[in-house]
Homo-oligomer: A and B are copies of this chain.
């Protein structure tokens, strides 16, 4: 399609758009590819800048391409090739003892192995994180803190860090005060302490499913029973299912990951978040909201938290810096609402306080390290990686593969042919030093045997390309 190839009947911009769509369908332009700038498009096609803009607007409106701030337009979707979404599976309506221990232990053991192409680890790659700036903040903290951070920090945590956490809450619509915050060693510790604060041994809790296996382990560790509430790959937690479960079981707490649920990567709508809080409030059930992925949105705006709609102090908000800034610093926090004192006491009992130095360093970084600027880059990188990985998945994996469409975070939830046992897949893949996480450990009751979670936290590379190609081959062999 070149200059002067247009007929005169259709709008010019539609003809340009149509041509581009065909190039996408024919994979001349592939998912993740950058499109020419508006100026280049107008020159090349002999059309006005306005018409070029209109063509891109049209394609964007149809979801085929997307604009990225200060970067341009990219191919986002290919009607011909885009895989289906994974099926939503209903858990059986029983409460369960959890037992996924051994499976998870074996996976963590492999994660530690060297020279592995790691699609299993649930963090962005360190190369995406601002090490130099963080180092500066550590040195600042050493020099300027009381006792050089040698003494105990208060159980509740470093005051300046809590002030920064309170400031971060504006991003998700919160109006939090530093005195409502308790610093923990990562989000998982926050979730566990919140759970512990509102349950007794033998109680039943409702948990979104599929969900991060660490949450199941916390539940098992506390001697609790679990009722699983299915989450939809597009809408997230199924609120009708939750209401039914509340009627059927004596549910003492509910755990949900409304923003970019790991592994699904979905984000609940504000409307559903509000409804969720109404449901738990009506039934007087504490909601433990895990928002550790909330900052990693691909869209323009940071999604809200359920905590925004909390009127009774029942929402226990948990988050961390582990997925967005420094996993190894183990800095998380809880806003436990009306259960503040209970959670603080549990923190004190379990480890007195989190380390002084890492807290002081993160406080300084958040205040002076241009966190928002870093996040913008990180989001852009993860978004681009998601598109590039998706393209490879489409290319290398069998045609019947179903893949989630994350709108944030760094994980795909992938449904394979029913014949594929993902534990066997994992074993085979590890022979080629490729690591993935079998779907089975993301639920206590659903048989996700033919599902996997695949992380795109590492920047695209020849290794990643090779790894996905090999995975595709192994999957094809197993079907």
Contact = CB atoms under 8 A, between A and B. Distances in A.
B123 A148 contact: no
B147 A131 contact: yes
Interface string A214-230: 10011011010000000
A328 B123 contact: no
Contact of A351 (B154, B186, B357): B186
Interface in A399-447: none
A218 B123 CA distance: 31
Interface residues of A, number: 59
A134 B108 contact: no
B217 A349 contact: yes
A355 interface: yes
Interface stretch (A88-96, A135-143, A171-179): A135-143
Interface in A217-266: 217-218, 220-221, 223
B350 A189 contact: yes
A295 to B, nearest CB: 16
Contact of A327 (B123, B150, B196, B345): B150
How many chain copies does the complex carry? 2
A380 B295 CA distance: 51
A142 B361 CA distance: 12
A386 interface: no
A221 B346 contact: yes
A149 B350 contact: no
Contacts of A188: 349-352
B150 A349 contact: no
A218 B349 contact: yes
A121, A185, A217, A223 — most chain B CB neighbours (10 Å): A185
Given A151-B327, A217-B349, A329-B357, 17 more contacts: A105-B345, A112-B154, A123-B151, A126-B147, A126-B148, A131-B150, A138-B357, A139-B139, A147-B328, A150-B328, A153-B328, A186-B351, A188-B349, A218-B350, A328-B353, A328-B356, A357-B358
